Amino acid sequence: MRLVFAGTPEFARVALERLHAAGFEIALVLTQPDRPAGRGMKLQASPVKQFATQQGIAVAQPRSLRLDGKYPEDARAAQQAIEAAHADVMIVAAYGLILPQWVLDAPRLGCLNIHASLLPRWRGAAPIHRAIEAGDNETGVTIMQMDAGLDTGDMLLEERVPISDNDTTGVLHDRLATLGGRLIVEALELAACGGFQPVRQPEQGVTYAHKIEKAEAAIDWSQPADVIARRIRAFDPFPGATGLLAGELIKIWAAQPVASSASEAPGQILAVQGGGFDVQCGRGALHVTQVQRPGGKRLAVADFLRGFELKPGMAFERTGEASA
């Protein structure tokens, strides 16, 4: 089958690499324009573009695909490139642009999306983060026939993955990326022999995974410890979970909820030990084991305490900036 692939981050690169290795003909890759990144803020190609360029695959980077939008010249150029590709199907994975109807209609078999959730739960931009944050026991990957709605199309394939109590978004992302690459190859093999049995998404159980914002990083210590612990895992690696302590914005990367009968105010340090420290929460306490100071590296608390004098009775401030 002849493909157009649309994707941008590492999740999409894994799928593109798997499709390429499986021998599918990839006529064109669409990806987001290069963005400034790193300390020097130099323009950096997306993971998808880097792989496509290495393999000699044609790449287009329109700022928009809307013919009547802000960048109509980009959209028209993309339209010409897509039509010239004569694709049987377009594969979409975390692309980052809305596909107008003309794109959905362009390939012979339409557009298939690799979505990192068990639809209709967690439609939208951040399904992995939100599944962990909500305390879901499982998630997965759904291969979906795209329509004009937001992740509302018919489901073609689905596979479930358990979420452990230690999974961060980064860890779960890598597992789901690998699964998505395998499932899209299976989906195309089924499509080649007419083996699809599309299933409409149920109307019950719809949730939306809104985009992660930096402002969500600030920890609200009045919340229960288990809720805060899930948010710490959900926001690893981005944007991190932060608290203001002794005038420094500390990122907390690893913590576990523990029982506490203390009557101290939320945010107060209850105990400091070599391997961690306990913080009172709205219900229970949080045993923190890995942190990061501004401009520094992630450190085990034992190493952090060598350069930061932390004592019981100190407290995280109630408010603070959300980014380090």
Q: What's the pLDDT tens digit per position in 92-147?
A: 999 999 999 999 999 999 999 999 999 999 999 999 999 999 999 999 999 999 99
Q: Tell me the C-alpha distance between 128 and 290, whole Å.
A: 22
Q: Per-residue pLDDT averaged across 12-34, rounded?
A: 98
What local confidence, expressed as pLDDT, does residue 35 receive?
A: 94
Nearest to 85 by CA among 29, 32, 33: 29
Cβ–Cβ < 8 Å for 111, 26: no
Q: Per-residue pLDDT averaged across 210-218, rounded?
A: 95
In the chain the first and final C-alpha atoms are separated, in Å, by 47
SS3 content of the chain, % helix, strand, coil (to 5): 25, 30, 45
3-state secondary structure 217-281: HECCCCCEHHHHHHHHHHCCCCCCEEEEECCEEEEEEEEEEECCCCCCCCCEEEEEECCEEEEEC
pLDDT tens per residue, range 61-72: 999 999 999 999
Does the CA dihedral 277-280-286-292 come out positive or negative? negative
Helices 10-21, 47-54: inter-axial angle, 10-degree rounding? 30
Which residues are CB-neighbours of 86 under 8 A, at least 6 positions away?
Answer: 2, 27
Q: What is the CA radius of gyration of the chain?
A: 23
Cβ–Cβ < 8 Å for 290, 249: no
Q: What's this model's pTM, rounded to 2 decimal places?
A: 0.94
Q: Per-residue pLDDT averaged across 12-33, rounded?
A: 98
What local confidence, expressed as pLDDT, does residue 119 receive?
A: 98
- Nearest 5 degrees, angle CA 38-CA 91-CA 149? 95
Nearest to 161 by CA among 132, 187, 189, 185: 132
CB half-sphere exposure, 230, CA atoms < 13 A: 16
Q: Tell me the C-alpha distance between 30 and 273, whole Å.
A: 51
Confidence category of residue 324, pLDDT binned at 50, 70, 90: very low
What local confidence, expressed as pLDDT, does residue 220 receive?
A: 97
Q: Which domains are present in the chain?
A: 2-209 (3.40.50.170), 214-304 (3.10.25.10)
Torsion angle in degrees (nearest 10) through CA of 102, 105, 106, 109 = 160
Cβ–Cβ < 8 Å for 146, 111: yes
Cβ–Cβ < 8 Å for 8, 45: no
Q: Per-residue pLDDT averaged across 200-208, rounded?
A: 97
Q: Per-residue pLDDT averaged across 143-169, rounded?
A: 97
